[in-house]
Amino acid sequence: MSEIRSPREPDPVAGEEPRPSVPTALTGDDAVELVRLPPLLPRRQNPWLIVEVDGTPAGHGALVWALREAARRDATVVAVHVLEDRGGDPLAGSTRARLLAQLAASDRLEARVLRAIAETGVQGRSRTAVLARPVFEALTAAAHGADLVVVGARGKTLLRHAVPRPPTRRLTRGA
């Protein structure tokens, strides 16, 4: 039979050494040990910048600005290429042709992002994505004030614009 030990006691057979004593608030059986808390995580995540890259000079300029802003704000840039809807039935047509179009768009997008990275020198802050037009329209609508509900396996979140606080008047003490 093996000897049963409490989880606090070191096991000399396993080579564990006794821990240094921790100061307690009380003595005896009513002693309370100090609790070491893990460091707090930041309250807010780093920002994300979504940039539509469509191959125009204006799209390239927006991507270059976003990369520089991401370096300044410690943010992540998501460069997005939007696939146009062909309209009609989404099940009609070849899925292979749609997949090839998506892969080609992804390759063009990666090349444009690499060009912008070479121009700015900002590395490690970008991601790429090829989106369907309805997804991009939902994100754009949320940016212009529409509510957007994001539903996932961990729950749902309502994203809406923060309403600016009205300017408060400061009262001087004794007024």
Residue with more model confidence, 173 or 106: 106
> Domain 48-159 adopts which CATH fold?
Rossmann fold (3.40.50)
Q: Where along the chain do its domains lie?
A: 48-159
pLDDT digits (tens, 9 = 90+) for 64-85: 999 999 999 889 999 999 988 7
CA separation for the pair 171, 168 (Å, rounded): 9
pLDDT digits (tens, 9 = 90+) for 15-27: 666 555 555 555 6
pTM, rounded to two decimals? 0.62
Would you say residue 166 has pLDDT above 70?
A: no
Q: What are phi and psi of 48, to 5 degrees?
A: -120, 140
